[in-house]
Structure 1
Amino acid sequence: MQVNDTTILDLKPRLKTALIGVIVSRLADIANDPIRFDLQKKEAAKGLGVSISAIQKAVKKLIGDRKEAETKARLDREEAYEANANPPPRGDRPVPEGVSSIDPENILEMDEPKTPGPRTVDGPVIEVSPFLGKVSWQAWEVLRAHNEKTPEFFRFGNEVIRINSDQYGVILKPQNVDRLRHVLGRLASWVKTDADGNHKAILPPEVFLRDMLADPEPPLPEIEQVSSVPVLTEGGSILTNNGYDPASRIFMQSSIHLAPIPEHPTEKEIKTAAVFIQEPLTDFPFEWEADRAHAVALFLLGFVRHAIDGPTPNHLIDAPVPGTGKSLLADVLLTPAYGSNKGIVTAANDDDEWRKRLTAQLVEGRPVINIDNVRRPLDSGTLAAALTASVWEDRRLGSTEMIRVPVRAVWVTTGNNVVMSTELARRTIRIRMDPRAESPEDRTDFKYPELLKWVRENRSELVRSALILIKAWVSAGKPHPAVHPLGSYEGWTHVIGGILEVAGILGFLENRKALFLESDFEGQAWRAFVCAWWEKFNSEPVKASDLYEVTNEIEGLPLGTGNDQARKTALGKRLGNQRNRIIGGYRIEKGGTGHKSIVLWKLVPSEKKSEKFPRGKEMTPPSPPPYPEQDGTRGFNGGGLEGMSEGPFDPLQTPSQPPPPGNGSSYRNGWDGGGGGVKSAILGKKNSPGEFLEEEDI
C-alpha cells in the first residue's frame, strides 16, 4: 500500500475523510501479519501527517468494533434459533452496523503526543529489528571495536574464542550463546524501538547470538597459539612483544624480564647456555645418553613449537619403579616454557572416551597435554591419530556439529615400564630413567632438594639460555641434524635435532629402536608368534586354524576374548592385516588356497640384509658444571659436553657402589609393564652397550 503524503494533504476534506477510512480498514485487515502491518502503518502515518500511535489506536478501535459487532450478530442468531427462528446461513451473515464506520475526523484527536522518555544508555547501541543480518553486523562491529583496544576475541579453527587468563596461564575459551551474551550484554546496550520512537532496553536475543556463532567466516583475527615466554616464529625471528602478533598468529602474555639475547651467540655463550639448561637434570638417573638428549629436546620444544611445520611426537617419561621422579621431571622440563599452564589427563579405557578427552583439551588450545601415570598397555587409534594430526576434527559433544582446530600441543606421557601398541610406539620418543634402587623415593642426596622451586626462581635465565641456543641454530643457517628423521615428524627432527647438534648435545634419537622393541607389546607378541610359527611349520603353507595352536603359547596377540572359533576367525583377519609385512626377518605371505578355498599362509625368509641399529650410549660418569659459585660435588650424570672437566663418578642411588656392568638388569629383564607373556628371551643373547642388536636376535 503506497501512500503519497503530498496528494493526501491536498485533497478536499470529504475525499480525505474517505481515504482515511479505507486506509484504516485495510490496516485492520492485515493486522495479523506483523511485518506487513509494521511497514505499512509507518507509510500511512507519514502520508496522513499523523503519529504511528494515532494510526495504531484507530486500527485497534476498528478491530474492536468489528469484534463487538460480530459478537452481537452471533448472539442474535442464537436468540433466533432458540425462538425457532431460522438463523441466517453462516456464509451470508449481515454486515454488522458500524463495522467500517469510523469517524475520520476523530483520528487527529487520537494523536496524543507523548514526551519522549530520557535516554539512559551509554556507549554502543545495538537496535534490534527483524533484519537478522543487520543486527548481527552491529554486534560484530562492537566486538571488533573492543578488539582494537583489548585484543581478546579470535578465530581458532572454526571456533570463536576469547582469551582467558588466570594464575595458571592463558587458555582459549570457545564461545557459546551464554558466554557471548555475557560479553555483548556489557559491551553494548541492546534496545528495541517502540511505537513512539523511544528506546526500550532488552536482553540480547538468542537468535542473533546463534547467528553470530553460525557465521562461517567471523570478522575476527586468526590465532594458533598462546605463549607465556618469547618463542621462535615460523619466519625465524623471536617474538618478544606482548599481545597479538598477526604475522605469526601468536598471542603472547609474558611477565618474564630477560637480559639481551645475542644476535650471533659465540661458542662460549652456546656452551654456557647448553650447560645451564641441563643443570635441573642433575638429580635424575637417566639410563642412556639419548634419554638425557630427549629430555633437553622436550625442554626446548615449548620455545620452537610454532616454528615446526607439522606434528610433534609423544615424549614418554618412563622408569622401572615408582618414585623415580617421572612427574617431577615433566614439571621441570615444561615449567620454563609454560609455567603452570599444563593440561593433565589420565589414560582412557576406549577410543570414544579418548576422543572426548582430547577434543576438550585441543579445543581450548592447551599448550601441553600430559597423559599422566599410565598403568595399563597404551593402545588407542584416536590418540595415534592426534599425534600425527596438524588439524583436529571431531563432533561437538551433544551435537552433530564438527569442531575443527589446529593442533599445537606438546605431548607427554608418564608411567612405569609403559608398553604401547605399534602405532603409538612409532609416534613416541623415550626418556628413560633407572634408579637401580628398590625404593628410589628414599633418596636424600639431592643437589636441589626443592628442584621445582629452583626452576621457578631461575626461570628467566633458563628461558634466556634456551633462546640463545635457538638463536645460535638460526644464525648457523638452520642446519639439519646428522640423523635419519623420525617418520611423520621430519619438521620436528629438523628443528629440535638441529638445535641439539649446534649445542653439542649428543644422543638424539639413538634409542628409538630400543623403545620400539621393548615398549611395543603388540610387536613383541607378533615377533614371538612368527618365531614359533617358523619353528613348527617352517615355510609350509598352513591354515589360520593350524596356526591357532601356536598362539596358545603366545600371550599378547589381539584375538579378542571369544570362544575358540571366534579367536580363529580373528587370527585370520589379523594375518590379513599383516600380509606382506616383514616381522623378525620373515615375510608373511599368502600361500594359495586349500580345501573349500580356505586361505593358506606361509613365511618367507626376508632377502633384505638385516638392519643393525645401536642401543645408544650408556651415561658416562658425571662432570661438574663450570660455575665457580657451585661446589661441584654433584655434576651431571653423563653431561658429555666438550670442555667440561672430569669429576668422580657419583651415582645418585648408590653413592658407595659402582653401577652394574653392561646395560643394567632393568633394560634386559624389566619387562613387567604389561607386555603379557612375551618373555625377555625373545631378545636372544645379551649385548653390551656398545654392540648392535640384529633383527635375527629378536
Structure 2
Amino acid sequence: MIRPEPSNLLTAAMRYADVGHPVFPCRSGAKKPITEHGLLDASTDKAQIAEWWGQHPDANIAIRTDGLIVIDVDGPDNSWLLDDVDKQQELANAPTSITPRGGRHHIFRAPNGRTYRNSASKVAPHVDVRADGGYIVAPPSVVDGKTYRWLEGSGLDWPPEELTEPPSWLLEILDGIAANRGRASEAQSGGGADDRSLIPEGNRNATLTSMAGSMRRRGMSESAILAALHQTNQEQCQPPLDDREVQKIAESVSRYEPVYTKPAPATSGGLPATDRPYILISTEEYLAIDQTIEALRADPGLYRRGPVLVRVLRVDSQPGKIKRHQGSCITGIVPSANLRERMTKYAQFQSAKVATDSDKPVLVHPTKWLVEGVLHRGEWPNIRPLRGLADTPFLRPDGTICQEAGYDQDTGVLLVPNAQIPPLPDEVGSTEVEIAVQAIMHAVCDFRFQSEADQAVWLAALLTLLSRYAFHGPAPLFLVDANVRGAGKGLLVQTIANIVFGHDMPVSSYIKGGEEMRKQITSIALAGDRCVLLDNIVGTFGNDALDRVLTSTVWKDRVLGRSELVELPIEAVWFGTGNNIAIAADTARRCLHIRLEVMTERPEERVGFAHPELLEWVRGNRTRLLYHGLVILKYYCQAGRPRSVQSAFGSFEEWSALIRNAVVVAGLPDPCDTRDRLLDTADAAGDALSQLLAAWQEFDPTNSGLTASDIITRLYPSTNTPPQPEAAVSMRNAIENLTGASAGHPPTTQMLGKRLSTVRMRVKDGLMLDVDPTWPKNKGARWKLYAANTDSHA
C-alpha cells in the first residue's frame, strides 16, 4: 500500500495554509475527520497544524471549501462535457487535482457577494459541487492505497481571492441549482404539501439521484438508501420508475465514500455529530436494528451478558434484601429509556421522507419499535461481552495477572481498581510462597479454627475470589459455623472480602423456601455479584434452588420486563454462616466447611487479640495481602499446575484443579479434608432416605411397585378403618419425613412424586429407588426398589 512520507503531508498542509486555505486532518487512508468538529476546526494557524500532524503524522489533508466552488467530477470515464473540448479546457485552467478513482477536482473561487452550497449530481450525473459547508481531500493524501495528485503544471499555489471564477456557462448552471432550491424552500413554507410531494415524469431520475447522493454523503448504507428510494418512488413519483432503475441509482451513488458536510457540536458523552451515522427509519425494520446495533458498538459503557444488554452501576442506596457496600459496582439490565438515550449519542435517525432541500435530512427520534427491537434482539455480536467485574488485579486462565484498569479483552472482565499492588516478580520461588502464606494467615491468627484443614479452607476461599475468572466451572460454597455465638464467623468471612474488595461483601438472609430463594439468586445474577454471604443460617440449610446454582454457571429464570425465560451467567462465590448448622445432604456435597470452636462462655468478652480492630488493620495492609495472595497463585501456575491431590471433588473439577491444588502446593492441608466431617454430621436428607428404603421393604415386601397415588391411598385411609399395621405406620412416618408434611397430614400426590424424583437412583445402604420401565407411562410412575449394582429387583 502506498503511504506518503509524513514530512510530505505536513509540508503540504503548511503550504496550503501559507496561501490562506484552512486545513484539518483526516484519518490515515480515509476521508473521515480526526478532529472533534471536523471542518469547523479547519485552521491556517501553523502551530495548530504542527500539533495535529505531530500527533497524527500519517493523517490525510482536508481543505475547507467555504468561499470556494470545487467541481467534483467522479471517475476517469465520466461523460460530462465529453464532446466539448473548450469547456473541458476552461475547467482545466483552474487548479485541478486527480483523485484516487481517476476523477478530478477543479477549484474556483466564488464570485464576490454570492454563496453556493454543496450538491450531488445536480450539475450532471456524478458531478458534485463542494462549496460553503464542505471540504475536499487534497494531495498528497492517500485513500484505498492510491494518492491524490495535482494535474501536471497545476497546484493550489494562490490564495482563495486570487483564484479564477467559474466560467459563465458553469455559473448559470450553479445559479439555476440555487434558484430551484430557493423555489423549493418557498413552496415548502407556502403549504400545498400534496402538490409539492409529487415528482413528475422527467424529474424522477434526477430527484432520486439527488436524494441518494444526500443520504450517501451523510453515511447511509446502500441498503438503507435503496429502502428510502423505493418508498419515495412508490409514494411520490408519477408514475413510479421501474424497481431495477431505482436499484441502479442506489448502487451507483453508493460507490462514493460518505462525507459529512453538515457538522454539529459534539454531544455530551457521545460522538460528535460529524461521526454519528445516519440511520433510516423505514419499513425495513431489520436494517435499522442492524445499523443501530453497529452504531452502539462505539458506546464504551454498553455490554452484553447472556441474552441481555447491561450497564455498570454504582450502588448508592440499600433497597431490597441484599445489602451491598455503597459505591461498589454492579451490573444492571439496560432499560429502554436509557437505551434510547444511548442510541441518540451514537447515531442520528432520519425519516424516510427526505426534505425537499436534500442537504437537510428530516431528523426524528428513535421509534419505540426500534428501541424494543434492539433491546430484545438477543444477539449483539459487536457489543462487548461482560463476564464480570473486578475491584483488584486478578488471575487469568493462562496464569498471567491482569493489572491494567479497564476492559480486559482476554477474559471479558471490567477491572475498576480501587487498589494498586506492586508488580509481581517474573519468577516466584518457594521462599516467597512461604512468606506469603505466613503473612496472609497472620491476618486470621486470632480465630480459633478447629484444625489446620479449616485454615486451608479459609485460604482457598480467598484465592477463589482472586482467581474466579481463571476457571469456568462452579465454585463450592464456603460454610462457616461455630459451637457458640460470638465466635467471629461473619468477621472471618468479611476479612476475605476486605482483602479482595476493600469493603464488605454483599449480605443476604438465607431463605428456606426454594421459590423465594430462586428470586434472590436471579437478583444476584442480574447484578453480577462476585460473592454473597448468607448470614446467620437457622434450621436446616439447603434447598433445590441453592443446590442448582452451586453446580452451575448459568441461571435460568424470568426477569422483569420479559415474559420469556432468560439464561444469565452467574459465577458468584457463596458463603454461609451459622451455629451448629444442620445441612441437607445434597447441599453438603457442594460445600467446604470451616469450623470455629471457642471454649469460653462469653466469646464476645475475649481480649488480647493481635488485631483488636481487624478490618481496619486489613484495609491498612490490603495491598500487601493482595500481593501475597497473587504470589501463591502465580507460583502454582509457574510450577506447571502440579496435581497434588488425587481424590475427586465432583462438579468442582476446574476449581479443584486450580485452587485446591494451589493450597496444597503452598504447604497447607487439603481443603477438602473438612468435607467428610460435614457429610457425617449433616446428612439429614440421607437419613430420611435410609428411613424410607427400610420402611419400603416392609411395606412392599414382594417389591410389586407403588405409585405415588397408591402410597397416599393406602397410608391415609378414611377414619373408620381399623388401626394400620406397623409397616404402614413406619412407611407413613418415612413419607412425612421425606416430604416435610405435618404428622398425620398426607402430602399431595404431586408433592410426593416430586420428592421421590429427587432421590431417584440415589444409593443408600446398597439400595435405590427407580421407576419401573415396564409400567405404562399413562398410569403414572411406578416406583420399585433395586440393588445398586444390578438391574434386577431387590
* Superimposed CA distance per residue, residues 55-89 of structure 1 (whole angstroms, 9 cap, x where no aligned partner): 795646989xxxxxxxxxxxxxxxxxxxxxxxxxx
Q: 2:771–2:781: 8 Å Cα contact kept in structure 1?
A: no
Which residue in 1 is equivalent to 2:369? 207
Which residue in 2 is equivalent to 1:621? none
Which residue in 2 is equivalent to 1:154? 303
After superposition, residues 209-248 of structure 1 pair within 5 angstroms as 209-215=371-377, 216-248=379-411
Shift in alpha-carbon separation, 1:530–1:137, aligned structure 2, 3 A: closer
Task: Report whether the alignment pairs 1:506 with 2:669.
Answer: yes
Aligned length: 505
Q: Distance in 2 between matches of 1:428 and 1:127?
A: 55
* Superimposed CA distance per residue, residues 373-412 of structure 1 (whole angstroms, 9 cap, x where no aligned partner): 2223233212211111122222223531332222221111
Helix, strand or coil at the partner of 1:235: coil
Shift in alpha-carbon separation, 1:437–1:532, aligned structure 2, 3 A: farther
CA positional deviation for 1:497:
1.3
Q: Distance in 2 between matches of 1:276 and 1:506?
A: 17
Q: 2:436–2:629: 8 Å Cα contact kept in structure 1?
A: yes
CA positional deviation for 1:487:
0.7
Q: Distance in 2 between matches of 1:508 and 1:409?
A: 19
Q: Distance in 1 between matches of 2:459 and 2:619?
A: 17
CA positional deviation for 1:209:
2.1
Helix, strand or coil at the partner of 2:527: coil
Q: Which moved more, 1:479-488 or 1:448-457?
A: 479-488
After superposition, residues 176-195 of structure 1 pair within 5 angstroms as 176-185=335-344
TM-score (norm 2): 0.56
Q: Which amino acid aligns with 1:51?
A: A
Q: 2:394–2:401: 8 Å Cα contact kept in structure 1?
A: yes
Which residue in 2 is equivalent to 1:18? none
* Superimposed CA distance per residue, residues 398-440 of structure 1 (whole angstroms, 9 cap, x where no aligned partner): 5313322222211111222222322212111111212123332
Q: 1:128–1:135: 8 Å Cα contact kept in structure 2?
A: yes
Q: 1:162–1:175: 8 Å Cα contact kept in structure 2?
A: yes
Helix, strand or coil at the partner of 1:452: helix
Q: Which amino acid aligns with 1:172?
A: T
Which residue in 2 is equivalent to 1:170? 329
Shift in alpha-carbon separation, 1:434–1:529, aligned structure 2, 3 A: farther
After superposition, residues 464-479 of structure 1 pair within 5 angstroms as 464-479=627-642
Q: Which moved more, 1:318-327 or 1:566-575?
A: 566-575
Shift in alpha-carbon separation, 1:328–1:591, aligned structure 2, 3 A: same
Higher relative contact order (CA 8 A, sep 6+): 1
Which residue in 2 is equivalent to 1:496? 659
Task: Report whether the alignment pairs 1:336 with 2:493.
Answer: no
Q: Which amino acid aligns with 1:333?
A: I
Shift in alpha-carbon separation, 1:170–1:195, aligned structure 2, 3 A: same
* Superimposed CA distance per residue, residues 290-348 of structure 1 (whole angstroms, 9 cap, x where no aligned partner): 22111111011011111123111111111233222111111002222233373322222
Q: Distance in 2 between matches of 1:141 and 1:437?
A: 65
CA positional deviation for 1:494:
0.8
Which residue in 2 is equivalent to 1:43? none
Q: Which amino acid aligns with 2:187?
A: A
Percent of aligned pairs with the same amino acid: 27
Q: Which amino acid aligns with 1:157?
A: G
CA positional deviation for 1:533:
7.9
Helix, strand or coil at the partner of 1:251: strand
Which residue in 2 is equivalent to 1:561? 742
Which residue in 1 is equivalent to 2:444? 281
Q: Distance in 1 between matches of 2:788 and 2:525?
A: 45
Which residue in 2 is equivalent to 1:692? none
Q: 1:270–1:468: 8 Å Cα contact kept in structure 2?
A: yes
CA positional deviation for 1:252:
1.1
Which residue in 2 is equivalent to 1:130? 281
Q: Distance in 1 between matches of 2:633 and 2:610?
A: 28
TM-score (norm 1): 0.63
Helix, strand or coil at the partner of 1:369: strand
Helix, strand or coil at the partner of 1:311: coil
Q: Which amino acid aligns with 1:145?
A: A
After superposition, residues 402-551 of structure 1 pair within 5 angstroms as 402-527=565-690, 545=715, 547-550=727-730
Shift in alpha-carbon separation, 1:237–1:213, aligned structure 2, 3 A: same
CA positional deviation for 1:557:
3.1
Q: Which moved more, 1:522-531 or 1:319-328?
A: 522-531
Q: Give the unaligned 5+ runs of structure 1.
A: 1-45, 64-116, 608-698
Q: Distance in 2 between matches of 1:522 and 1:313?
A: 19
Q: Distance in 2 between matches of 1:381 and 1:442?
A: 39
Q: Which amino acid aligns with 2:281?
A: P
Q: Distance in 2 between matches of 1:155 and 1:581?
A: 39
Helix, strand or coil at the partner of 1:173: strand
Q: Which amino acid aligns with 1:561?
A: S
Q: Which amino acid aligns with 1:496?
A: I
Shift in alpha-carbon separation, 1:539–1:134, aligned structure 2, 3 A: closer
Task: Report whether the alignment pairs 1:377 with 2:540.
Answer: yes
Q: 2:336–2:371: 8 Å Cα contact kept in structure 1?
A: yes
Helix, strand or coil at the partner of 1:432: strand
Helix, strand or coil at the partner of 2:535: strand
Q: Distance in 1 between matches of 2:192 and 2:700?
A: 99
Which residue in 1 is equivalent to 2:454? 291
Q: Distance in 1 between matches of 2:668 and 2:392?
A: 23
Q: Give the unaligned 5+ runs of structure 2.
A: 1-178, 197-261, 316-325, 716-724, 775-779
